[in-house]
Structure 1
């Protein structure tokens, strides 16, 4: 008999956060768990934008989600692409402060 594990899939986008809890077979890959989480959260059209997102477990990027196995209690996180490079954002803020004097 295959043992079950409890995991969560979390997504955060502008103004919206989603979290779904799943019960999966032990040995399920991070990628498969993520796909099942997306299917539970979205319709196909909404899901598309998240398919290629980098994945992590509790803030640690997963190098190969297709082979990494989930453990009981894991939370898969999908990382949305940055809208602006953090270095550019800091530079813009610094320029705005220096120009405001």
Structure 2
């Protein structure tokens, strides 16, 4: 099975205990990134009301945006690692046939 045939398929994430634990850890990091970015945007929005905190507000938005950009990176990394945790013999066959 190729990467594209099994990527982002929830039924394949539970194929082993190692895959389940890895999936849970990345899901936690994804949720944490959501929370951190949301807090940064909330604080940045409140600080934007005062000219004296305008620069800090802008930096909060930039850092929040960076954290939001981490989320799809986490998803792609998770799917690649789960693919690598798959059946090694099938992976070898897939690589030979491509």
Name the TM-score class by shorter chain.
under 0.3
TM-score by structure 2 length? Answer: 0.26
More strand by share: 1
Larger radius of gyration: 2
More helix by share: 2
